[in-house]
Homo-oligomer: A and B are copies of this chain.
Amino acid sequence: MGFERIAIIGLGLLGGSIGLAVKECLPGAVTTGYDADPATRTRAAERGLVDHVHDSAAEAVRAAQLVILCVPVGAMGAVAVELAPALPADALISDVGSSKLSVARALAAALPGHAVIPAHPVAGTERSGADAGFASLFRHRWCIVTPPEGANPAKVAALAAFWEALGARVELMDPQHHDLVLAVTSHLPHLIAYTIVGTADDLEGVTQSEVIKYSAGGFRDFTRIAASDPTMWRDVFLSNKDAVLEMLQRFTEDLTALQRAIRVGDGEQLFDHFTRTRAIRRSIIEEGQDDARPDFGRSDHGG
């Protein structure tokens, strides 16, 4: 049932981490890989992210049983077209994109007749490129699999088993619901972080040097997220526009309410709100989705 030949297209943070995780967790499998950037291919070969780095996507997938596309979501369709001629008829195609409705459509259009089951491991760091990946990235994280209607249950199960072998927990979800959930838990947070870091970077009256020096007051947490890959995130916002704008609308309403509470001096409303938001962090730590140590454990290191 397991995959013995796995092709990874795109060898950045996600693709590289999958390659390293397969090596560690599925030592019987052979991995092939490709990246559009020649420097990334060279570095991927040096780090051994996959067993064989190829010079085209078509070569990389020629013998694959499972193909995982790890490119920005806006590039999925074009990559799929590129490798389609060489794709074995019985290969399973999946991906790691952060929005799923647009990816499902792009892959279905580019690969008619092929088995496509999109997926999204909810894991990552702010780093990108061939040096960013590591084998444990998916451990204790959730991977959301979004099978299209009529997907072969055996193939869905095989993909789920693959992610579980890499340490992830798997949940099946409708792609539309995925896009709404991730708009809250990932896309809106990134948009907000990108915004506030931009705001702080461009103020009269406060210098950039001051922003940097006093960032430990909270701002620095946002800069981590706002250091994420710009191409990837541009594509996420363009491909999940409706859900992001809907969540942004809700956020803006809530921000306006707190703004008003500050303006009129309503301490009770502020206190009640700030008390309510404490509970959710406890739940996230209990569920194993974050480090329980204060300050993410940063203060343990030369604090």
Q: Which positions 193-207 of chain A face chain B at CB distance < 8 Å?
A: 193-203, 205-206
Q: In the complex the two chains form, is B218's CB within 8 Å of A225's CB?
A: yes
Q: In the complex the two chains form, is A303's CB within 8 Å of B237's CB?
A: no
Q: List the one stretch of A44-52, A53-61, A102-110, A272-280 in contact with chain B.
A: A272-280
- A31 to B223 alpha-carbon distance, docked (Å): 38
- A274 to B236 alpha-carbon distance, docked (Å): 12
The yes or no answer to A85 lying at the interface (CB within 8 A) is: no
A142 to chain B: closest CB distance in Å? Answer: 5
Q: In the complex the two chains form, is B191's CB within 8 Å of A299's CB?
A: no
A190 to chain B: closest CB distance in Å? Answer: 5
Q: In the complex the two chains form, is B199's CB within 8 Å of A181's CB?
A: no
Across the interface, A290 reaches (CB within 8 A) one of B225, B262, B294, B298, namely B298
> How many of A's residues come within 8 Å of B, CB to CB?
112
The yes or no answer to A113 lying at the interface (CB within 8 A) is: no
Q: In the complex the two chains form, is A231's CB within 8 Å of B122's CB?
A: no
Q: In the complex the two chains form, is A184's CB within 8 Å of B203's CB?
A: yes
Q: In the complex the two chains form, is A186's CB within 8 Å of B214's CB?
A: yes
Q: List the one stretch of A2-10, A76-84, A124-132, A149-157 in contact with chain B.
A: A124-132
Q: List 24 A-B contacts (CB under 8 A).
A: A122-B213, A134-B303, A140-B303, A180-B206, A184-B206, A184-B219, A187-B217, A189-B196, A191-B258, A191-B262, A195-B255, A195-B258, A197-B280, A211-B280, A212-B284, A220-B289, A223-B290, A224-B281, A224-B290, A233-B274, A234-B270, A234-B274, A238-B270, A296-B297
Given contact pairs A194-B277, A197-B280, A241-B262, a sample of 10 additional A-B residue pairs in the complex whose CB atoms are under 8 Å apart: A125-B294, A127-B294, A181-B214, A185-B218, A189-B217, A198-B254, A212-B283, A220-B290, A221-B221, A227-B282
